[in-house]
Structure 1
């Protein structure tokens, strides 16, 4: 290659995306980019490879199919591959999965991701929720210290449903009833001062003590200080569980902060969540847990690369430093 051609070639690297640069490194190292995802899948599966039917580790190689090594279980005779039993089983175009994971980390819409990868929008939508099926579960096991809790309400959405259970309305419309009603879905968010966050879709209408008793005890320490607004359900929950509780917000009295005791962190998380959801022009209520998990992936910055996200989709999560 002539020097002028080389300089023109190098100048084009500035316009490459992160994924394209990584693919270039793979080419230089001798690994074709279309094999990168398959190689990562095989490496991830090796650590815990066992029969999905009887969980035996007594296996034999049993040929190859769809670019993946197949295995045969000696005790039960079942055959399987590295994707069997995972959310990515039976999906095609493995060579595009790392690029699609990059699209998820960039919060791209279904159509934008489909256009970038040259796939159908229905394929892009299917991949989105397959990739988030397990990755959304990468959450802190327990909240400590001062823990703020507050609820967020979103208008129920049946986006994508073939048969509506209510009269149709314009997307992003308003509820017919004033205040909080069964037309709205409650999202409970609890967040400690280290930034560890858990959230739950509790159902339609106002938050209740029973919902708090179901959601919070498994994910909070008994010696935490629970800080909330003046909602009566939190006080009733704290009395029944014996958890220390302070209600610091009284909007009627204009009180939002009492020294270091406030709910500003969880309210800021609510604000970031609402702003991020606007990208998608409406989210179907039945998929809300997936989107909440997706938002946590981005907000916590525990998954920063397409490779880590693909591993999480297969069940291998990054090590938790805070539990």
Structure 2
């Protein structure tokens, strides 16, 4: 049996929808898709070897209109991909029930193509997981080595392998800068660092007048700075990383971090009391900024003070 190009097109449509790289911000769904791709990979491998594969259950997540939706398929031991195509709405119920036009057992050319297609998706997912582990391990090593409170590089979730590779490069540059300054006697204890690769950091644009009296616009990557919560923001440029760090007031960064931690600690202390007072299961506060933490503490203190005042009884 010879499968048409339409069948390959259907496979490509599915891979494009479920590829784990598309779900970097959704760890559970990403892992689910990765696991199902590996199951499909084993299923295809058996077919390529001329074996009758055991039935396989696939669960994939896709995005539709901004929402995550699950697609499930049960592949039979006959080597049919029709249930997978039906689960994604690519064939009709009549086509699913008809004499299987999507059987793959006898089509060795298609199997070879399908095997490589699925293998590539699985390899990419495995490389992504390996780099994710390497980045996490590298961050932990730097935190322990220099007594840092935290190290964050780039965005919270890396979308592609190239972005992950840049994160590794950025961490390598940071280690170089910290190590050389540490040997000079500089301490980084208690600091939190937000790191940016030069190719992926925020940019700054400004206008100026040149020597001919004409306005010009210039854009460059951001300059290092200390945020209100004490986080040290650095660009991982190997030619400037040392100068960036030396130019910052790290004692001020520690002080700001101490103050931010104080307010965060107060939020954690007051939350159970507010939950009890309001009779709710949870109270949520956006503590990404020190200002938000302060507002919550003031609000919680006001509620508790009024409650205690209402419950106060005279001594006589």
TM-score by length of 2: 0.20
Higher RCO (C-alpha under 8 Å, 6+ residues apart): 1
Which structure's CA Rg is the greater one?
2
